[in-house]
């Protein structure tokens, strides 16, 4: 339902679409006359710092390495040329080309990305100083106030649209890949389209109050921006460390009202505890209520309250013991838990083209979803049609556990074992894979397929 | 943003839509080979066995849990004179359920509309069995089958019913066996398209003998697993049908547990030892069953069978499977061996022969006959977590609870965003590990009438709470 805004370059807009957009614009002109002065001033402040971003993304989903050109937006935040955009725009990219407002084309280097908040930081490769925007505060915004969205909707660079803030803290956390655990979103009716991703949402004073990131597919004028306060903290961490370090205890949180509307109950509900996590070792259980962290009370009565609590916990120093106050059936207890660093949900990916299979690292998150007791093996994410892996019946979602009877410990072990077989010119490779709850033997046969392929070619 | 690498969510059963098959593209190849006289004779002999199943159907969207109802009709075939009727299997799946069935019979001694009870589907045939409710001794004009094999290219005659616009008049269509598929089991594919009214219709050969019925294979999500070949109409031959007709499935959802001691269970999943596998492992000859999965706590696990073992002989019977379909023969052999029996299994481990004695147990209850319970307090229909549901959804053995099968439209459970596939582990303070405990928990709610009740539940690898507000 939700859709993020990287715009995939496919073809030109058809004239008919453009014509309709023009008409709409003409009709809208008259209503803009009154606040025009302030809008123009805001635009003058932001426009010079706007960046049209064209990353080339690397993808491995098909058993082959492929590249895809996407278009997004961004904005310069410092004279040295640091640019803020979305992770879904600049993540996994092999090169990033930026076009500045004065039409200068510059390459940029990816300084770091944070998939959990969908923020990426780039550094322009060119001579500064660069014009930059001014950060505003997102904690003082109100719904109803004017908001301007800047960026490249559908690849149309240097566009600005206007609306108001429709809602200040919309919770869009879902249990899928689009989860946004650490932030609510600013909802706006300023037009946001694919391609606006990473562009700034600005108040009437020309200050950045959010980073445009999402829209609702099928809806009109329902766009979402990551609040500036959260984006800014992440950006600073990325510039400082190259990434965001977060503490992880291994419990999932839910709002108190998921269990009861009783207003007397305060705290945060523990919804689930990962096996083999620090929380599980400390005997924290689902249904417990977390009421304080290092003596600081925490409270999440509603869903919207969860991101702040998660941030408080994530920001605890990694590897240091924390004192958690837990309420279990009305009885309070203190437990000391030492956090570990939260690992990325998505790890390395690579295509192994001789076999026609792309695999991904089995991260903690993937292991948890696949109900493995611990990360092991590699995850098949793509199989090239007609390739030996496809002939052998390997399927996306399979987890390769052993190769020729030898345990595949992790991603680098898989790569090493693959390379070794390539060098030795081994033609038959036996894999043992996990598929859902079952396991299976899969024989990659490089002989058979090559003859089959030749036969196919013979027919052409 | 799509992150396909993270797509490890449990696969929800896809909706098995009603398949509308287009009429055949050309004149069936063997059409001329059945004389019109044979066609007319067959028609007059068997058309009275063609009845019309009229039903109300409840369809559940597996994602949203929303339920809608529709009325429908389907071809029914009387297969036993006591009123046993078969119709096509996709009327009843994980996401659709017949709530009210009647059978219309046009000729014979008992024309009219009679109520019928849905018995269910056999494990391996995508056909739904119904029993007409009629006074003792009523004889229905049932079709009788001949066990005559079919071959590639054979012309076949199919009886069925036309569309509603001609009041479902009985009719015939001609087709031919276009392909004989060997894997995963021998299946006879029809060449032309079949109209809906000819699904589960009797199939006759050129001599006018009834050799089977038409049907579609089960979907993989439905537990069809190995048999999945969706979309292509098939012929289910007499040999497959006959055992199901003599022992039709029992009605699902009955509180009565399946009588113990019927089918034996070993607890392994196997693959055939194909020549290339044998060559890889340096074995002199192909044939056998590679153990790919050993179910925890099963007789196989207790006997120490491991993945990678190759079964060469079971209970004195040599195993020489080299094809996927032969795995099914092995499953049948195990089932029919008899629970409680100790059998000797000869196997190869790391190339070395060895033998093990295994005491078979009773095959665990399957999803098909899992107990179901429907309640109107929260608006849920829940099922037991049978072993095959655990395997299909990758649910660990230590997860205890009941699984949501349907969420009633407009119910308190729907308002709380519950959906099929959610495993309920506790209702309020009460832990739920079985249908019986769920039933007790609901009765408890009915007595206590709380304003709200928290359910602790699991979906995939995540756990969490649902707050449901019953309407008293």
Return the SS3 of A330. Answer: coil
Q: Do B8 and A369 touch (CB under 8 A)?
A: yes
Q: Is the pLDDT of residue B336 over 60?
A: yes
Interface test with B, best of A276, A280, A306, A369 (most B CBs within 10 A): A369
- Tell me the chain A residues in contact with residue B465 when contact means C-beta distances shorter than 8 Å: 254, 258-259, 269, 271, 287
Q: Where in chain B is the domain with CATH 2.30.42.10?
A: 264-362, 367-468
In tens, the pLDDT along A215-241 reads 887 888 999 999 999 999 999 999 999
A263 and A194 fall within a common domain: no
Mean pLDDT of A376-403: 92
- Please count the structural domains in chain A: 3
Quote the domain boundaries for residue A375: 349-459
Question: What number is the average pLDDT over the span B181-203?
Answer: 80
Is A421 found in the same domain as A384?
Answer: yes
* A237 and A253 part of one domain: no
Same domain, A400 and A354: yes
At A21 the pLDDT is 34
| One domain, residues A442 and A354 | yes
* pLDDT tens digits along B211-238: 999 988 765 444 443 344 456 788 888 8
Report if residue A23 sits inside a domain. Answer: no
pLDDT for residue A68 is more than 50: yes
Residue A116 annotated to the active site: no
- Residue A372's pLDDT band (boundaries 50, 70, 90)? confident
A211 or B472, greater pLDDT: A211
* A263 and A213 together in one domain: no
Establish whether A398 is a catalytic residue: no
* Average model confidence (pLDDT) across chain B: 82
Domain with CATH 2.40.10.120 in chain B: 21-251
**B367-468 maps to CATH 2.40.50.250:** no
Q: Answer whether residue A20 is part of any domain.
A: no
Band (A176; pLDDT cuts 50, 70, 90) = low
Instruction: Return the number of CB contacts < 8 Å for A and B.
Output: 119
d(CA A197, CA A185): 14
Q: Are residues A36 and A161 in the same domain?
A: yes
A371 — contact with chain B (CB < 8 Å)? yes
What class does CATH assign to B264-362?
A: mainly beta
A19 in a structural domain? no
Answer with the one of A209, A241, A273 that is the final residue of a domain. Answer: A241
Look at residue A25 in the predicted model and tell me its pLDDT.
40
What per-residue confidence (pLDDT) applies to A27? 42
Q: What is the pLDDT of residues B137-177, one digit of tens each?
A: 788 889 999 988 888 888 999 999 988 888 888 999 999 89
CA distance A290 to chain B (A): 15
pLDDT of residue B85 exceeding 70, the answer is yes
Q: Are residues A184 and A161 in the same domain?
A: yes
pLDDT of residue A34: 59
- Spatial separation of the C-alpha atoms in residues A362 and A399, rounded to whole Å: 8
A94 domain-assigned: yes
Name the domain boundary from A185, A207, A241. Answer: A241
Q: Are residues A306 and A353 in the same domain?
A: no
pTM (2 d.p.): 0.73
- CATH code, domain with A283: 2.30.42.10
Give the pLDDT confidence score for residue A128 in this predicted structure. Answer: 81
pLDDT value at B261 more than 70: no
Q: What is the third-level CATH fold of B21-251?
A: Thrombin, subunit H (2.40.10)
Flag whether residue A438 sits within 8 Å of chain B, measured between CB atoms. Answer: yes
Contact B5 A381 (CB under 8 A): yes
Tell me if residue A154 is catalytic. no
- A423 in the same domain as A315: no
Q: Is the pLDDT of residue A12 over 90?
A: no
pLDDT digits 0-9 by tens, A86-131:
999 999 999 999 999 999 999 999 999 999 999 999 999 998 899 9
SS3 of A91, please? Answer: coil
What confidence score (pLDDT) does residue A5 get? 58
C-beta separation of A433 from A401 below 8 A: yes
Domain termination site, one of A241, A276, A302? A241
Mutate to test the interface with B, among A251, A257, A437 (most CBs of B within 10 A): A437
When mean pLDDT is compared across A172-186, A330-344, B208-222, B375-389, the lowest value belongs to: B208-222
Q: Are A192 and A110 in the same domain?
A: yes
- Whether residues A163 and A78 share a domain: the answer is yes
CATH of the domain at A34: 2.40.10.120
């Amino acid at each position: 339902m939700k859709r993020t805004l990287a715009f995939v370059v496919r073809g030109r807009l058809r004239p008919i679409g453009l014509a309709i957009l023009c008409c709409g614009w003409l009709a809208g002109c008259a209503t803009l006359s009154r606040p025009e002065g302030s809008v123009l001033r805001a635009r003058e402040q932001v426009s010079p710092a706007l960046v049209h971003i064209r990353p080339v993304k690397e993808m491995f989903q098909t058993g082959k390495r492929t590249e895809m050109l996407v278009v997004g937006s961004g904005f310069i935040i410092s004279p040295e040329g640091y640019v803020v955009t979305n992770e879904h725009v600049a993540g996994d990219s092999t090169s990033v080309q930026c076009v500045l407002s004065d039409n200068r084309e510059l390459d940029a280097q990816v300084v770091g990305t944070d998939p959990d908040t969908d923020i990426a930081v780039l550094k322009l490769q060119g001579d500064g100083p660069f014009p930059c925007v001014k950060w505003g505060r997102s904690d003082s915004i109100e719904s109803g106030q004017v908001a301007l969205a800047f960026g490249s909707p559908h690849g149309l660079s240097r566009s600005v649209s206007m609306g108001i803030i429709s809602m200040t803290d919309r919770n869009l956390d879902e249990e899928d890949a689009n989860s946004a655990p650490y932030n609510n979103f600013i909802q706006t009716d300023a037009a946001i389209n694919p391609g606006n991703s990473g562009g700034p949402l600005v108040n009437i004073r020309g200050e950045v109050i959010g980073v445009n990131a999402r829209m609702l597919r099928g809806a009109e004028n329902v766009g979402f921006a990551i609040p500036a306060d959260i984006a800014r903290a992440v950006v600073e961490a990325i510039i400082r460390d190259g990434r965001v370090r977060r503490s992880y205890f291994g419990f999932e949180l839910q709002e108190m009202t998921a269990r009861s509307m009783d207003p007397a109950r305060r705290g945060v509900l523990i919804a689930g505890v990962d096996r083999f996590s620090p929380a599980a070792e400390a005997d924290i259980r689902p249904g417990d209520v977390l009421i304080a962290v290092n003596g600081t009370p925490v409270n999440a009565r509603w869903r919207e309250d969860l991101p702040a609590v998660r941030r408080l916990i994530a920001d605890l120093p990694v590897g240091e013991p924390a004192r958690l106050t837990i309420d279990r059936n009305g009885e309070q207890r203190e437990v000391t838990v030492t956090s570990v660093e939260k690992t990325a949900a998505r790890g390395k990916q690579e295509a192994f083209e001789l076999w026609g299979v792309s695999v991904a690292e089995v991260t903690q998150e993937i292991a948890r979803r696949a109900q493995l007791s611990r990360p092991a093996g590699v995850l098949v994410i793509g199989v090239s049609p007609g390739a030996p892996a496809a002939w052998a019946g390997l399927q996306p979602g399979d987890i390769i556990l052993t190769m020729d009877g030898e345990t595949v410990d992790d991603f680098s072990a898989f790569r090493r074992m693959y390379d070794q077989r390539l060098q030795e010119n081994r033609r038959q490779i036996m894999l043992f894979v996990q598929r859902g709850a079952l396991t299976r033997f899969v024989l990659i046969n490089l002989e058979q397929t090559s003859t089959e392929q030749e036969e196919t070619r013979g027919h052409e | 943003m799509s992150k396909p690498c993270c797509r490890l969510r449990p696969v929800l059963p896809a909706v098995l839509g009603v398949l509308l098959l287009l009429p055949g593209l050309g004149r069936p190849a063997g059409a001329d080979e059945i004389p019109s006289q044979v066609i007319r004779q067959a028609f007059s002999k068997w058309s009275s066995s063609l009845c019309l199943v009229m039903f109300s159907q409840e369809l559940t969207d597996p994602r949203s849990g929303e339920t809608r109802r529709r009325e429908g009709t389907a071809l029914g075939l009387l297969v036993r004179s006591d009123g046993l009727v078969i119709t096509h299997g996709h009327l009843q799946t994980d996401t659709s359920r017949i709530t009210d069935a009647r059978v219309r019979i046009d000729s014979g001694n008992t024309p009219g509309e009679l109520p019928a009870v849905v018995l269910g589907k056999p494990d391996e045939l995508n056909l739904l069995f119904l029993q007409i409710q009629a006074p003792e001794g009523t004889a229905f004009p049932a079709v009788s089958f001949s066990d005559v094999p079919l071959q590639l290219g054979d012309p076949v005659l199919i009886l069925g019913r036309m569309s509603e616009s001609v009041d479902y008049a009985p009719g015939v269509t001609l087709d031919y066996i276009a392909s004989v598929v060997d894997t995963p089991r021998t299946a006879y594919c029809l060449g032309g398209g079949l109209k809906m009214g000819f699904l589960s219709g009797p199939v006759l050969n050129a001599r006018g003998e009834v050799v089977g019925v038409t049907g579609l294979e089960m979907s993989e999500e439905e537990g069809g697993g190995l048999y999945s070949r969706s979309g292509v109409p098939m012929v289910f031959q007499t040999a497959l049908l006959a055992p199901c007709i003599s022992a039709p499935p029992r009605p699902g959802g009955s509180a009565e547990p399946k009588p113990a001691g019927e089918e034996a269970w070993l607890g392994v999943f196997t693959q055939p030892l194909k020549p290339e596998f044998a060559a890889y492992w340096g074995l002199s000859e192909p044939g056998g069953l590679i153990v790919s999965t050993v179910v925890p706590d099963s007789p196989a696990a207790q006997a120490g069978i491991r993945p990678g073992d190759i079964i060469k002989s079971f209970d004195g019977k040599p195993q020489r499977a080299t094809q996927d379909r032969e795995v099914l023969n092995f499953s049948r052999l195990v089932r029919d061996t008899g629970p409680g029996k100790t059998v000797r299994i000869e196997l190869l481990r790391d190339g070395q022969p060895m033998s093990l004695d295994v005491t078979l147990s009773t095959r665990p209850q399957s999803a098909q006959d899992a107990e179901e319970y429907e309640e109107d307090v929260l608006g849920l229909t829940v099922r037991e977590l049978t072993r095959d549901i655990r395997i299909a959804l990758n649910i660990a053995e230590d997860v205890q609870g009941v699984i949501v099968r349907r969420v009633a439209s407009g119910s308190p459970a729907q308002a709380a965003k519950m959906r099929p596939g959610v495993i309920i582990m506790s209702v309020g303070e009460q832990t739920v590990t079985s249908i019986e405990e769920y039933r007790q928990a609901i009765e408890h709610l009915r007595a206590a009438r709380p304003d709200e009740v928290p359910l602790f539940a699991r979906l995939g690898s995540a756990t969490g709470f649902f707050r449901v507000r019953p309407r008293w």
